[in-house]
């Protein structure tokens, strides 16, 4: 029975980690689905939000709700800055120019965060002070369950907005044909900016949940968020909200079982190898057309 128990426990651990990846992938998917652009500074914007909340905590000892609001607000401001500087000028231009510009902003945001808090590691208040939930021989962290519930709630809310509101109709029109949407009177620039704000708010909430779950924040959060979010998005299918959730959970499962069976040094290697194989094979769900 021990191998079965180990497999199931590893699966629970993988789903727990994958919930955070799924939330990151949702933010990337919203931006890519509308703009057809990869925002490389999405992760650093999340890091800046987490650093702003950490700075406030160190200065005032503010509670979790205030820190959550600060993390979301700072990430939205950073995301708006990125959209105005990198994507608005290149909306009708080359995607490569916008992507390179977002990489330059990545450096700016990381530098700003490290100037705000220069040490490599800072403590952050815990999201939950109690121990894990146990079910017989299995256990799961409450923080992980909260992140998983947040991922599902964000996906459901996003689906409702896209298919039950006027803004959602405008978003889907821009996704299908930006030029036709513009000719029909839709302000494509305003739609893009609002999508950036929504994706950044999701990113800020995700960053808060991650650092509060780990009880620490480091400058590596930006790169980690970018890599994990983009990898989960590509595994789940570009432009699909349910695919983003599935891709994040799949990535968590792959990493957890790879680490258990092959060692920690193969954890990321096997995940990236699988992505390479999928990109080479290019299955039907890995397309560039939105599947909202």
Q: Which two tokens stand for residue 158?
A: 């996003």
Domain ranges of the chain: 16-229
CB-facing half-sphere around the CA of 151: CA atoms within 13 A? 31
* Separation of CA 12 from chain center: 20
Q: pTM for the whole thing?
A: 0.89
Q: Which two tokens stand for residue 60?
A: 């005032």
* Separation of CA 202 from chain center: 8
How does pLDDT run along the chain (292 residues), one tens digit per residue?
467 777 888 888 888 889 899 999 988 888 887 777 778 889 999 999 999 999 999 999 888 999 999 999 999 999 999 988 888 776 666 667 778 888 888 888 888 888 888 888 899 998 888 777 787 777 888 888 888 888 888 888 888 888 888 888 888 888 777 788 787 888 888 888 888 899 999 999 999 999 999 899 988 898 899 989 888 888 887 777 788 888 899 999 998 888 888 888 888 788 778 777 777 776 655 555 554 5
Are 76 and 197 a contacting pair, CB within 8 Å? yes
The pLDDT value recorded for residue 210 is 93
The per-residue pLDDT for range 209-245, each reduced to its tens digit, is 999 998 999 888 988 999 898 888 888 877 777 888 8
How far is it, in rounded angstroms, from Cα 51 to Cα 68?
Answer: 11
What average pLDDT does the chain have? 84
Angle between helices 42-60 and 64-82 (to 10 degrees): 140
């Amino acid at each position: 029975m021990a191998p079965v128990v180990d497999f199931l426990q590893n699966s629970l651990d993988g789903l727990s980690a994958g919930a955070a990846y799924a939330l990151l992938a949702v933010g990337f998917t919203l931006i890519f689905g509308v703009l057809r652009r990869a925002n490389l500074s999405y992760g650093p914007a999340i890091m800046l939000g987490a650093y702003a909340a950490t700075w406030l905590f160190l200065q005032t000892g503010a509670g979790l709700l205030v820190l959550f609001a600060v993390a979301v607000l700072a990430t939205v401001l950073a995301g708006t800055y990125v959209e105005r500087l990198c994507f608005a000028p290149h909306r009708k231009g080359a995607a490569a120019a916008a992507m390179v510009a977002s990489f330059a902003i990545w450096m700016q945001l990381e530098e700003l965060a490290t100037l705000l808090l220069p040490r490599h590691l800072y403590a952050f208040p815990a999201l939950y002070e109690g121990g894990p939930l146990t079910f017989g021989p299995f256990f799961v962290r409450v923080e992980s369950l909260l992140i998983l519930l947040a991922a599902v709630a964000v996906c459901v809310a996003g689906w409702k907005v896209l298919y039950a509101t006027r803004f959602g109709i405008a978003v889907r029109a821009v996704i299908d044909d930006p030029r036709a949407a513009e000719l029909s009177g839709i302000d494509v620039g305003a739609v893009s900016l609002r999508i950036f704000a929504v994706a950044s708010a999701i990113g800020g909430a995700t960053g808060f949940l991650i650092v509060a779950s780990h009880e620490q924040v480091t400058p590596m959060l930006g790169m980690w968020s970018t890599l994990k979010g983009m990898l989960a998005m590509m595994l789940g299918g570009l432009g699909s909200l349910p695919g983003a959730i599935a891709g994040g959970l799949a990535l968590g499962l792959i990493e957890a079982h790879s680490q258990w069976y092959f060692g920690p040094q193969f954890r990321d290697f096997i995940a990236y190898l699988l992505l390479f194989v999928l990109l080479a094979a290019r299955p039907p769900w890995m397309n560039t057309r939105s599947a909202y």
